Structure 1
Amino acid sequence: MTYTFSEIGRLPLPGDNVGIATRKLDGGTQIIHSDRTFALRHTILEGHRFAIQPIAPGDPLLSWGLPFGIATRHIYPGDYACNPEILGALKLRDLDFELPDMPNFEDRIVPYQITTFEAGEQVKHYDQCGTFQGYQRSGGRGVGTRNNIVILGTSSRTASYAKQLEARLQDRIGDYHNIDGIVAVAHSEG
């Protein structure tokens, strides 16, 4: 089978040299990327990485623009990016395909160090002290706020569910004297 890269993989950032498989890809699959075609040498599992550019020994493997390993031998487009740990873990599984004979990179995460720091312009203070949207409680008990339950949708896939749950629970608020409202906070993007 032949696929364009966008059909079967993701590249977190444009400068990355390994892609992430979005599904299981059989060995021999042809992939078209950046006006060239390469074949996968081995089956790649969903979520695993494979080279999309040549990587020389000693060069970093990049994902999200950051190095996560160093090539221990030449890695060619279509090669499974595998370290000793992943090969060892996969060999314990009952897989119906062959794995690479040896790893092609080793983990090497370079710690990020901030060598320079320049503070930005500081925010000016307000003329008046900040307040909050509270209310004066009776009997000299100070101030209070409203007590709302938030239904938080953590991705765009949960947005409609959060909104429907909010609508369904609105008539139950009266059963609880300590709850003032139920509000859905729905995620609107990826």
Structure 2
Amino acid sequence: MARPASDKRERLTVAAVRLATTRGLAGTTLGALAEEAGVPSGSVYYYFKTREDVGSAVVEALHARQRDLMASWEAEEDPRARLAACITHHVATADDLQAHGSPVAAVCAELRRSGDPLATDAADIIATLVSWVAAQFAAMGFGPEAARARATHLVTGLEGAATLAHALDDPAPLEREAAHLGRWIAQTRSP
């Protein structure tokens, strides 16, 4: 029985994200995308006419993944627990981060270097995470500036440690930074 068309688009999008984060967007050719998704190369054109379409699909998929993660962390009642869930997620994905680095950071950097207008949309993924983290600090009683500064610190720590884990091919920097950030959150007292 043939799979529905929406399944094919989903498989192509998943494959595009995987390729973009392992080979870069420039290495995500339509032919490579067809091979990775296991679909005939001609059918790729039905869903993605250009490489720009592929880039847009990758950014949209990464943004959707980030929103889904934040929604799952919202299940926690306490803002400290929500932040701990965010940190725990990064540690749980340490093997992927070690192997490929942060997928969002990689895509953002590549789009920014190339001057692609999509870079702004990609950067919004990280900005959304920073805003979500700031909202958690605000819920803990911090004012807008202090909440934003703390959020920037936390996200920078996680993203930077993921970059080091990838560069050094060692998950230890991410594991150590996550442990440090976890202690920092646990010890943070409302102003």
Give your verdict on TM over 0.5: no
Whichever of the two has the greater Rg, that structure is 1
More strand by share: 1
Task: Indicate the structure with greater helix content.
Answer: 2
> Which category describes the TM-score, using the shorter chain as reference length?
under 0.3
In the superposition, the TM-score normalised over structure 2's length comes to 0.23
